Structure 1
């Protein structure tokens, strides 16, 4: 996190042009006077509490109406289990891309993709990629694995105690499984991995979560397991934490490629040369050249995985369809591969961390449920198909953006599609 000395000097000069040095110091002083207003103690979603929060926040009627419009008031109860200190909703524009044809183990058919974003050119790019895939007969997609993890950590007096505890945990796996699974109708403990680091032991629990994304499910199950461990382990830890930062939760990590977190999916397509030239205005050779150079660029920059822009499509899909948007931090880990074929281009994407569900979380909220309904993937039995569709979406996005970069259309598309923006 170092800063070059010339950049630091330049920044300090800018600050001193704004404030005298004494004022700079003063602005960083601690100020212990009472806050002007306080929010109600209760975080519940009730009209009287919402009114009190708005009184504390202030703002004119126009600001309030933008967040707490008539429809939001009517739907207020629907948000009860998804938000604390509720004051309204933010309207993110939703565009539609597709159809995207997916020939998957679970996703079969043509899908229109609702994408929520404020970035001009994003929906247009994914729309182009989806239509290209469909015109070529669709992408093959395969769900490879499933599992959501939580990794509590336990500290002991010494390595001997840590080893004794690790041996007990392994021998008690069936017992721990029963305890964890007793907290949920759908969660199943698939695996336990142990990491011993000095006098610390990490227990990496991996659960199958049915059709839910499962973050809360595995947390509750792991909490019950930890309570059981504290009560029954022959060696008592000095302290423990329910998550010791080994699971990779909401972080891009190298261990993504060693297993699964969420749902692991891959998608591929063979594109005829004439279709690449007609729809992307470039050649398979140019696209492979770009992929090769960008792969090395990704390695040299230290990225985890190599791809063009998975986060763009996944964030837009997640927001539209009630997924946990923060999980894009790990879901957007993966690899894209392009190769020349005798008659065109082979393209594939693999994503090991798709944290998606068709039930639970935000999937039942009014707008998000509507977007899942557009996909035809709302409710039980649809999560695996949703993961395969997400893989197909990212494949379309890779083809489109790399095609634009090869054809010299990347910046032009942004200029044209954002031309009507009026900045206030």
Structure 2
């Protein structure tokens, strides 16, 4: 694909065959690691990280101890292998890259672009080795050239390469004992037009939905749902924005525990002040105290700005506990007592909400249901009742009154740098469908979306780029984007199920021909 592909912005959609691009100020590189098997079951592998080149017979090339004078022969062999690998050849041609015999030039140009002197070719591997983390040995000059060739050319694909990761920043923040990264397929669905309701009024915006997934057919299904939604008007609102943490503390008697409950639930000024010491963005919104014998489970809820806020609210909780110890004879058992409830199925979160609670509604015209979804409002409404209400009740799900909310939540979380463990809370969703005059009314309500647009994985270059690409300004708008994607997925899947198309669609879209 050439660099002239159109930029997909809010309000536009890429045409078939062209992939969306991230904003021009986001610099992301292409990472491609082909593993091609020819018709005679031979393999041509190029691995990014611990780089290796295998010849068609499976014999390893590029032993570090080999004679440097043989490099030229290895270069020739590598070029021959690249030319024989049809998939790699087609891939290179599709990107409109320079000819394969320019590998050496690209390798040297890469060094020059890094302000390094152009060395004799046999000195290239140790110089490039210095650009990699220690866990990524580069085994040969041929390996270096092939890998650098596939990585060094700018591309509009919204992917990242090992070179876009700042390992100094990752260590101590995102990953310990970091040995590399796992690439995931990244797709696009959209546009998603929303009318967002806020305390100040309402605003109309158009978003894109980035999704990282390995499930073929998921994005196609979401895209069909979005097509249906665009024929109506979709309204979204964040009804609550409170992250929670629940310390557990112990007293000498039940009497003291009850007295403490009466005190802390009155929101005294010192409780608010000490809790908000955790961050200038932290604002106390609720305090609940559950007494169990002589122990108390505090459920502290607060707004955390644009961050998801778990670290922030944990700091605030710890600060408050240390202050309370000065005036109360309490023993801190843990800053988290599971009454939060964090990353576990919980009826409490389903009822009270955790993080951002969002709800959306849309009315689909009857013509849309007939022509786009290939079914009727009555059929969809009936199946939604028997599947998402009765079926979920029989299974005793906790908030699982939906068809596939977790699919969409997980894909967006991975693409935008959210904590994927919070898909547990995000899977709680109520999908409602009603037959109304002129069409089908649909609503989705997700009470516990634990997400943000700053901090944690959202600071990674590619993930930050995907947040910008979505068009969401802040965590509340991103929650609305997640809700819109979930609604699209619910609409399309229920329609597919009611017409018996699910298996057929997966066989066509989730099985490589």
Both proteins in one fold, TM over 0.5 = yes
CA drift at 1:255:
1.2
Partner SS for 2:422? helix
1:400 equivalenced with 2:492 (yes/no): yes
1:292 equivalenced with 2:385 (yes/no): yes
Partner SS for 1:270? strand
Change (3 A) 1:297 1:194: same
Q: Of residues 229, 252, 262 in structure 1, which corresponds to 2:345?
A: 252
Partner SS for 2:457? coil
Query: Where does residue 354 of structure 2 map in the other structure?
Result: 261
Q: For 1:298 and 1:90, how far apart are their aligned partners in 2?
A: 34
- CA-to-aligned-CA distance 1:152-196 (integer Å, 9 cap, x gap): 011223212212332343456321211121220211111101111
Query: Where does residue 111 of structure 1 map in the other structure?
Result: 207
Q: For 2:292 and 2:256, how far apart are their aligned partners in 1?
A: 12
Q: For 2:234 and 2:267, how far apart are their aligned partners in 1?
A: 44
- 8 Å contact 1:168–1:233 — kept in the other structure? no
Q: For 1:269 and 1:144, how far apart are their aligned partners in 2?
A: 17
Query: Where does residue 227 of structure 1 map in the other structure?
Result: 322
**Where does the alignment leave 5 or more consecutive residues of structure 2 unmatched?**
1-129, 138-142, 153-160
Q: For 1:372 and 1:244, how far apart are their aligned partners in 2?
A: 32
TM-score, normalised by the number of residues in structure 2: 0.66
CA drift at 1:386:
1.1
- 8 Å contact 2:278–2:313 — kept in the other structure? no
Query: Where does residue 34 of structure 1 map in the other structure?
Result: none
Query: Where does residue 285 of structure 2 map in the other structure?
Result: 190
Query: Where does residue 3 of structure 1 map in the other structure?
Result: none
- 8 Å contact 2:361–2:444 — kept in the other structure? yes
Partner SS for 2:458? coil
Change (3 A) 1:297 1:172: closer
CA drift at 1:145:
0.8
Query: Where does residue 170 of structure 2 map in the other structure?
Result: 79
- CA-to-aligned-CA distance 1:66-106 (integer Å, 9 cap, x gap): xxx88314522442421111111110000101111111126
CA drift at 1:363:
1.2
Alignment map for 1:41-56 (pairs within 5 Å): 50-51=133-134
Query: Where does residue 131 of structure 1 map in the other structure?
Result: 227
User: Which aligned runs of 4 or more in structure 1 are off by greater than 4 angstroms?
Assistant: 47-50
Q: For 2:381 and 2:344, how far apart are their aligned partners in 1?
A: 29
- 8 Å contact 2:428–2:446 — kept in the other structure? yes
- 8 Å contact 1:280–1:407 — kept in the other structure? no
CA drift at 1:115:
0.3
- CA-to-aligned-CA distance 1:395-420 (integer Å, 9 cap, x gap): 11100100110121111110001221
CA drift at 1:54:
6.6
Query: Where does residue 25 of structure 1 map in the other structure?
Result: none
1:412 equivalenced with 2:412 (yes/no): no
Query: Where does residue 317 of structure 1 map in the other structure?
Result: 412
Q: For 1:172 and 1:102, how far apart are their aligned partners in 2?
A: 37
Query: Where does residue 111 of structure 2 map in the other structure?
Result: none
- 8 Å contact 2:208–2:471 — kept in the other structure? no
CA drift at 1:210:
0.9
Change (3 A) 1:262 1:86: same
Number of aligned pairs?
Answer: 359
- 8 Å contact 2:254–2:294 — kept in the other structure? yes
Partner SS for 1:280? coil
Please identify which structure carries the higher helix content: 1
CA drift at 1:49:
11
- CA-to-aligned-CA distance 1:351-376 (integer Å, 9 cap, x gap): 11011212222112111011111112
Change (3 A) 1:321 1:108: farther
Query: Where does residue 298 of structure 2 map in the other structure?
Result: 203
Query: Where does residue 5 of structure 2 map in the other structure?
Result: none
Q: For 2:373 and 2:414, how far apart are their aligned partners in 1?
A: 28
**Where does the alignment leave 5 or more consecutive residues of structure 1 unmatched?**
1-46, 56-60
1:390 equivalenced with 2:482 (yes/no): yes
Q: For 2:208 and 2:164, how far apart are their aligned partners in 1?
A: 28
CA drift at 1:116:
0.2
Q: For 2:444 and 2:164, how far apart are their aligned partners in 1?
A: 42
CA drift at 1:248:
1.3
CA drift at 1:270:
0.6
Q: Which has the higher contact order (CA 8 A, sep 6+)?
A: 1
Query: Where does residue 339 of structure 1 map in the other structure?
Result: 434
Query: Where does residue 361 of structure 1 map in the other structure?
Result: 456
- 8 Å contact 2:242–2:302 — kept in the other structure? yes
1:301 equivalenced with 2:417 (yes/no): no
CA drift at 1:278:
0.4
- 8 Å contact 1:50–1:85 — kept in the other structure? no
